[in-house]
Amino acid sequence: MAHYARIDINTNLVEKVIVAEDDLINTFPDANRWIKTSYNTHGGIHYDPITGNPSEDQSKALRKNFASVGYTYDQTKDAFIPPKEYASWTLNETTCNWEAPVACPTDGQVYGWNEKTQTWDLVE
């Protein structure tokens, strides 16, 4: 079994994600719109589903990110890209994830991005 994302042919947006056998997908009349995605791939790295650590076999990393409804499939990058949440964020071409112009603090507290001030604010 594998995960597959169905792509809108006009917008390249992910419409739905299902679990199916490869043979079943091949029977669909729109089989060319179904693209395999890896549940354990995030930012171009495949993670071991048991340990949560990067897998020794990175050949399992597939299309940069696990597809979700609303993601875009970029055929040139062969990657699923999440929606852009903030205008100031830029796409990391390696991970195909959006990044803030300022790194989030890593002090163990919870922060939320403030687009107006372009800062990370403490969430209370």
Residue 124 has pLDDT above 90, yes or no: no
pLDDT tens, position by position, 66-93:
999 999 999 999 999 999 999 999 999 9
For 51, the token pair is: 């340990």
Give which of 47, 24, 49 is closest to 34, Cα–Cα.
24
Task: Provide the residue ranges of all domains of the chain, joining segments of one domain with +.
Answer: 1-83, 84-124
User: Which amino acid does the sequence have at 26?
Assistant: N
Q: How many CB atoms lie within 10 A of CB 81?
A: 21
pLDDT tens, position by position, 25-58:
999 999 999 999 999 999 999 999 999 999 999 9
* Residues 37/66, Cβ–Cβ less than 8 Å: yes
pLDDT value, residue 47: 98
Q: Give kind and range of the element (H or E) at residue 104.
A: none
* Residues 6/22, Cβ–Cβ less than 8 Å: no
**What is the mean predicted confidence (pLDDT) over 90-99?**
98
